[in-house]
A and B are shown apart, each in its own frame.
Chain A
Amino acid sequence: MDFDHLFSTFRISASGLEAERARIRVIANNLANANVTRTADGEPFRKDLVVFREVLDREAARRDPGCVMAGVSVEKTIKSTEPFRTEYQPGHPDADPATGMLRLPNVDPVSEMVDLITASRAYQANLSVITTFKEMMLQTLRISR
């Protein structure tokens, strides 16, 4: 078992931390833009969604087919196609002049908050793997004492 293989656990957990942080950043952006009625393309703000993908270690897989685990990465962020919320606000500059209806972003603050909690718990879980692994390795160093 070589060193690189031994410490790859740290990299896996770090990739998990990175991915969850990316998700929290997207949630923050969604919430910050929850009331933006006009963006560069003239439409209200569309909610971003993060897509995760498992990373496989091709080089390690060649040596040992069981060892393909290499963590997670953010594959892409996509724009949600959910319909916009609408509200009757005839005085608003972005409202439809004929009907007085204002289109608002498709961001639902409640579901964003739920996602935020999930992401934060997953972040903590990845952190505790790192802490535990560090303790395990220190224990190994103590074997020779």
Chain B
Amino acid sequence: MQDLTLLSLEKMLDTATLRHKAIANNLANANTPGYRRRIVSFDDHLAKAIAARDPGALRSWRPKVTTSSEAALSPDGNNVSLERELADLMKNSLVYSTCAQLLSARLAAYKAAISGDSRSA
């Protein structure tokens, strides 16, 4: 069974989990001299794979961690901003919740189709 919606949501949850880890690492290193913040972003490949409805490309896609080259905020060479990381944290948690709820709804729809019970949807 090829369900692109399920696959896309799975990849988005993967990305949000990895991004959460990157934010955790950034905040843990908020006072480490010379530390550069790590970013996890959705890249063009994922957007293209979803747009092209290509399950193979979607399945092989993996979220990646990159190191930010933005200028340092403090003289010790660290470019982590506590406020921005916390804002990203909240945003990422909302993205995660949204995806998890959509996934839930999708699975509930399958359940309803299988059992033929319209009330369980």
- A residues engaging B (CB < 8 A)? 1, 6, 8-9, 12-13, 15-16, 19-20, 23, 51-54, 64, 66-72, 118-119, 121-122, 125-126, 128-129, 132-133, 135-136, 139-140, 142-145
Contact = CB atoms under 8 A, between A and B. Distances in A.
Given A71-B28, A126-B28, A143 B103 contact: yes
Contact of B30 (A9, A122, A136): A122
Interface string B1-33: 000000000000110110011111101111111
Contact of A9 (B21, B65, B86, B101): B21
B24 A142 contact: no
A145 to B, nearest CB: 8
Grouping DSSP codes into helix (H, G, I), strand (E, B) and loop, the A interface class, with mixed when no group exceeds half, is helix
Contacts, number: 105
A136 B21 contact: no
Given A132-B89, A140-B100, A143-B103, A9 B20 contact: yes
Given A9-B21, A122-B82, A139 B100 contact: yes
Interface of B: 13-14, 16-17, 20-25, 27-33, 35, 38, 62, 64-66, 82, 85-86, 89-90, 93, 96-97, 100-101, 103-104, 107
Nearest to B95: A136
B93 A136 contact: yes
Given A69-B22, A128-B86, A143-B104, A136 B96 contact: yes
Contacts of B96: 136, 139
Contact of A15 (B28, B31, B90): B28
A94 B3 CA distance: 80
